[in-house]
Homo-oligomer: A and B are copies of this chain.
C-alpha cells in the first residue's frame, strides 16, 4: 500500500502485495454490484428485472470465485504467522475471515441467492404496493431455504441464524449481541409502560397538515447541505426504502416522502446522511481494501443513528432547523420546544419501524428478530408470517396492522435474503449513544455548536475515531478505542432515561 511504503515501513512481502491486488479486484466487482443494486431500486424500469438478476448473479459468482481462489488461499498460507505491520495484519485478518467463510459455500448457491433476491426485490415492491403477501411469499420461501442451506455449508453444527448474523456483524458473537438487546428491552419496556400511563401531553401535532413532496425534497436537500453533505460525492433520490449506497468517492442517499408526515422523510434523510458520511470518511487511498471499507453493520448503524437521534432529534437541532422548516412550510406554527416534543413523541399507534421513536423502535426490531429466527429454524412457515407478525405487534406495541403493506411487507430486507440483519439496528443505536457520550466528553459544547449550524466538531470526532480506520479494528476494539469502554448498552440506557425522563416527567426510579 502506497501510504505504508511512504511512511517508511519495510516493503510488504510479495504475497501481501498480490493479495491486496486480488482483493481490490474482488472489491471492484462488489462495488459494481452495489451500483447495479442502487440503480435497480432507484432508476431501473420495472421490466428490467430479468436482465438485472442475471447481471447481479454473474457478479456475485465472480466475486465469490475471486474470494475462494486457490492463489488467494496460497498467499494467505504464505502470510500465516508472517511479521506484518499492524495495518497489513488487519488486512490479512479481514481477507482471511472472508475467504474462509466463502470457500465453504458453492458458487452456484451464491449465484442462485443473488438471482432469487434480485427477482424478489421486484416482487416485494409490487407486493407492498398491492398489499399482497401471497405474491411475495414464494420468493421469501425460496430465500429462507437458500439461506438455510448457505448457513449449513458454512457450519452445519451451529445455529443457522447465528451463522447468518455473522454476514452483517462478523466481529461480535450473537450471544453478546443478544445480551445487549436484552438489556435494551429490560430498560425500555417499563419506560414505555410508564410513558403510556403518563399524564404529560407532548405537542404532538406540531407537524400536522399536508406537506407537498417537492417542497419536502427541497427541505431534505437543505438539511443535507446544512449538515455538510458533500454533493460533489453524493446525490439524493427517492426509493421505496431509504438507503445509502457507495464508497469514499460516491456515497448516495435516498429518502421517501409522505405528504402527511414531513418528519418521516427528514428523519430518514438525516439517518442516511450518517451512513453516507461514514462511507465518505473512509480513506481514499485504501479504496478497494479492508482499510478502505466500513466496519460492518452495527458500526455503520451507529453513524446513522448518531446523526438521526443525537443530532436530528435534539433541542439544539430544532432551534437551528425549525426556522428553515417554517420558511418552506409557513403554515407550521410551532416553537422549537414544540417541534422537539413532536420529533420525540413516543408513539402509541405507529406501525412503521423507520418512522418509530427512539424507544419503541427496538420493539419493532424484536418482532423482526423473533419472526426471522423462527423462519430460519423452520418453526414458522412463510404463510404464517402475517398473522404472527400482527400478533406480536399487538403484544409488544399494543397495535395491530390492518394491512401487510404496513405490516410484514414494510421492510425491504427479506427481499434481499438478509436474515440476521435487523439486530444490527438496535446494536447500532446502543453504539451511537456510547460514541456520542464520548464525543460530548471531548466536545462539551457540542449542542451549542449544533444550534449554530456548526457540525465540524462532530465530523472531525467521528472521522478521527471511526471513519478513517476502515476495518483496521474489530467492532469492540473500535468502540473501546473511541470511548475508553467495552461496547455495552449502558450509555444508551442512561441517555434515554435522561431524555425521556425529562420529556415525560418520569419517576427518577426508571
Contact = CB atoms under 8 A, between A and B. Distances in A.
Interface of A: 24-25, 28-29, 31-33, 35-36, 39, 43-52, 54-59, 61-62, 230-235, 246-250, 252, 284, 287-288
Contact of A47 (B33, B35, B48, B232): B232
B234 A45 contact: yes
A233 B62 CA distance: 27
A463 B252 CA distance: 39
Contacts of A31: 51, 54-55
A28 B54 contact: yes
Contacts of A61: 25
A58 B32 CA distance: 9
Nearest to A44: B250
B45 A235 contact: yes
A50 B284 CA distance: 9
Contacts of A35: 35-36, 39, 55
A308 to B, nearest CB: 23
Which of A36, A54, A56, A235: most chain B Cβ within 10 A?
A54
A59 B47 contact: no
Nearest to A230: B47
Contacts of A47: 230, 232-233, 249-250
B288 A54 contact: yes
A232 B122 CA distance: 13
Which of A29, A35, A231, A234: most chain B Cβ within 10 A?
A35
A-B pairs, top 6 by smallest CB distance, nearest first, are A28-B58, A48-B250, A47-B233, A51-B249, A47-B232, A32-B55
Nearest to A111: B25
Contact of A233 (B29, B43, B45, B252): B45
B62 A29 contact: yes
B45 A250 contact: yes
9 contacts: A25-B58, A29-B62, A31-B54, A32-B36, A32-B55, A32-B58, A44-B250, A51-B250, A51-B287
Contacts of A249: 47-52
A235 B252 CA distance: 20
A164 to B, nearest CB: 26
Given A24-B54, A35-B36, A51-B287, 8 more contacts: A24-B58, A25-B58, A25-B62, A31-B55, A44-B250, A47-B233, A51-B246, A54-B287
Given A36-B32, A61-B25, A51 B247 contact: yes
